Structure 1
Amino acid sequence: MTTTQQDQDVIDLLLTQHNEIRALFAEVKSTTGEPRKRAFHQLVRLLAVHESAEELVVHPASRHDISKATIDGFLREEGDMKRELNNLYAIGTDGPGFDEMFAAFEQAVMAHNTHEEQREFPMLRRKMDPAKLRRMAGAVRAAEAVSPTRPHAGVGESGTTMMLAGPPMALFDRMRDAVRDWHRTNEE
């Protein structure tokens, strides 16, 4: 049986994205040149929208059933990852030290994803009605549609901050992405 977007719940959506993140890490590590840059930009975009949506939708829903300290820990990890991703983006895939920084970054992201998969996701599945989990998947998709496509470390990780600052940053990021992609297409 094929799962449609309407049937997919938020946990299945996030697990699918965690698998996509894992695959993009592998692609960045196994390629060079332009393919590596493209894979890295895909990874940057996916991580940026994924984390923003979690901050807006998932973590606030979990806050009632998981300790505040755990959720705050997730937010700290996400803030650290945004700063590190900013550093990697600034260095570029061909920059000095990229491979070492990227390897450490991958470890941090995979550890963070594992924490969510082992603590937050099972609790959500136990405590929430399946229909609500499906509606949350729609809310995550909507949040991702207006989320920045690059990490903006220092902006803050709260849902309120992302609601206020996210859409303008997303518009700017998407314009930069379009210009970058246009230049790549017209250089060939």
Structure 2
Amino acid sequence: MTTTQQDQDVIELLCDQHNEIKSLFAEVRSTTGEDRKHAFHQLVRLLAVHESAEELIVHPASRHDASDAVVDACLHEENEAKRELTNLYALGTDAHDFDEVFAAFERKVIAHATHEEQQEFPVLRRNTDPAKLRRMAGAVRAAEAVAPTRPHAGMGESAKTMVLVGPPMAIFDRTRDAVRDWHRKANR
């Protein structure tokens, strides 16, 4: 039985995105040239919007039920990942040491997703009304629609910062994405 977007709760949505992230890691590892760049840009975008939405919607809700230590650990891992992804993005997929840096980054991101799935999400599911979890999925989708599409490590990890700085950065990022995509299509 397939779940529609309306029926999907926030935990199902985030776990689906974790699986999509894992698939994109595999695609980046298995491709070269322009295909690799394209897959990497998709991965960067998904990680950026996913983490922004978690910081705005999921972690504040989890903080109420999970210990501060669990949520603080997630936020620390995400902030570290933003810094590493910023550096990896600047390095570029054609760099001679990209594969090594990318593999280390992948291990950390997968460990972070596992941490969320094993420590944060079960507490959220146990202590949150199913209808609220479904509404949270809608809130995550809305947050992702206006989230930055690149990591901005200097922005910090608080929900307040994301609300204030996220939308202007998202406009800038999405404009840059559109120009990059236009150039790529124009040069084919």
Determine if the TM-score, normalized by the shorter chain, exceeds 0.5: yes
C-alpha separation in 1, matches of 2:58 and 2:16: 15
- How does 1:103-122 map onto structure 2 within 5 Å? 103-122=103-122
Deviations 1:26-79 (A, max 9, x none): 000000000000000000000000000000000000001111122111111000
- How does 1:3-82 map onto structure 2 within 5 Å? 3-82=3-82
C-alpha separation in 2, matches of 1:57 and 1:10: 10
Cα RMSD for the two superposed structures = 0.6
- How does 1:116-135 map onto structure 2 within 5 Å? 116-135=116-135
Superposition deviation, residue 96 in structure 1: 2.5
Kept after mapping to 1: 8 A contact 2:70/2:120: no
C-alpha separation in 2, matches of 1:68 and 1:149: 28
Gaps of 5+ in 2: none
Gaps of 5+ in 1: none
Kindly, what percent of the aligned residue pairs are identical? 76
C-alpha separation in 2, matches of 1:2 and 1:59: 27
C-alpha separation in 1, matches of 2:67 and 2:127: 14
> Is the counterpart of residue 88 in structure 1 residue 88 in structure 2?
yes
Kept after mapping to 1: 8 A contact 2:155/2:161: yes
- How does 1:97-176 map onto structure 2 within 5 Å? 97-176=97-176
- How does 1:169-184 map onto structure 2 within 5 Å? 169-184=169-184
Moved over 4 A (4+): none
C-alpha separation in 2, matches of 1:123 and 1:68: 12
C-alpha separation in 2, matches of 1:145 and 1:111: 26
Superposition deviation, residue 2 in structure 1: 2.3
C-alpha separation in 2, matches of 1:23 and 1:126: 28
Counterpart AA for 1:19: N
C-alpha separation in 2, matches of 1:94 and 1:164: 34
Kept after mapping to 1: 8 A contact 2:46/2:149: yes
C-alpha separation in 2, matches of 1:133 and 1:64: 14
Query: Could you say what secondary structure the match of 1:151 adopts?
Result: coil
Counterpart AA for 1:118: Q
Query: Could you say what secondary structure the match of 1:171 adopts?
Result: helix
Aligned positions, number: 188
Scaled by the length of structure 1, the TM-score of the pair is: 0.99
C-alpha separation in 1, matches of 2:161 and 2:71: 16
C-alpha separation in 2, matches of 1:22 and 1:2: 21
C-alpha separation in 2, matches of 1:50 and 1:19: 12
Scaled by the length of structure 2, the TM-score of the pair is: 0.99
Query: Could you say what secondary structure the match of 1:63 adopts?
Result: helix
Counterpart AA for 2:96: P
Superposition deviation, residue 168 in structure 1: 0.2
Query: Could you say what secondary structure the match of 1:123 adopts?
Result: helix
Query: Could you say what secondary structure the match of 1:154 adopts?
Result: helix
Counterpart AA for 2:168: P
